[in-house]
Amino acid sequence: MPHPSAMLRLVAFAVAAGLAMAGVQPVVSALTGEVEMRWAFSLTAPAVFTALLVFGAGRVINRGDAVQPPWYSAWLLLPGSFLLAGAAAMCIFGALVEFTLIPWTMWVLLVTGGVLWMAAMVLVRSHSN
């Protein structure tokens, strides 16, 4: 069984990677002619930027295997990860159809999910021993 810190790094990477992969889907869809390129970039740019921010913050906040996160770390990370997954879903929906509510919903999910994710990572780091 890996150390809890290794599992936490894996979760942090998976959340950022999933958001980045979903964020690229509108551009792929635009290349096939399903949606306009302007629409695609309006979804892809903030999603990929947030994914890079989440990944970068995870790398900065991580202290390696020297300290282990508390047992409740997963519970702290859940709200942010679910909101970021919702933002990823908005990118996938946006790759299929240009509906005006999608970007607004994605922005709300990105901002709230990113803030909750970062706050949870700070709490995990401060309570790691």
In one-letter notation, the amino acid at residue 32 is: T
**What pTM was estimated for this model as a whole?**
0.89
In the structure encoding, which two tokens stand for residue 124, read together?
A: 């995990």
| Every domain of the chain and the residues it spans | 4-62+70-126
Asked if residue 119 lies in contact with residue 73, where contact means CB atoms within 8 angstroms, the answer is no
Q: What stretch of H or E contains 84?
A: helix 73-96
**pLDDT tens by residue, 57-83:** 888 877 777 778 887 888 888 999 999
User: In Å, how far from its chain's centre is CA 50?
Assistant: 6
Angstrom distance (rounded) from CA 73 to CA 118: 13
Asked if the model's pLDDT at residue 1 lies above 70, the reply is: no
Mean pLDDT over all residues of the chain? 90
Angstrom distance (rounded) from CA 70 to CA 95: 38
